[in-house]
Amino acid sequence: MIGTLDVLAIDCPDPRALAPFYAELLGMRVVSDDPDWVELASEERPRPLLAFQRVDQEYRPPQWPGQEVPQQLHIDVKVDDLDAAEQQVLDLGATKTGYDKETFRVYLDPAGHPFCLIKPND
């Protein structure tokens, strides 16, 4: 195991409008509320979170099952050591995007889906 699921983030045009739907659907509650990022957690466990992230460009919803507009989401994986975890995911076939911050780094899985490795306190 390289890490644990920490956050599942879903792109959307209005996080504050979409989060209540999933809170009700999944029996979760809002634990962080910002116009650009809203997080939900279950009553029993603080993690993993379900998050809603505002997109900067014109939002186009996914077309399922077609692929003209694929699904917009990514997974945040909490790790103890970003450098060690990076090498492990690269060895598994991930690609670096070059988007590295102090507390997280973004990669593409072998099929091109983005995911992040994050420090425990991020």
**Which pair of structure tokens corresponds to residue 66?**
């077609």
Residue 111 has pLDDT above 90, yes or no: no
**Which pair of structure tokens corresponds to residue 27?**
């029996």
Residue 63 has pLDDT above 60, yes or no: yes
- Looking at residue 81, its pLDDT comes to 94
Percent of the chain at pLDDT > 90 equals 68
Average confidence (pLDDT) over 9-17: 92
In this prediction the pTM is: 0.76
| Angstrom distance (rounded) from CA 69 to CA 66 | 7
- Looking at residue 88, its pLDDT comes to 95
- Looking at residue 70, its pLDDT comes to 82
Provide the pLDDT confidence category of residue 57 given band limits of 50, 70 and 90: confident
Residue with the larger pLDDT of the pair 65 and 106? 106
Distances (CA, A) of 86 to 36, 55, 105, 121: 27, 26, 8, 17
Average confidence (pLDDT) over 47-72: 85
* CB of 18 closer than 8 Å to CB of 56: no
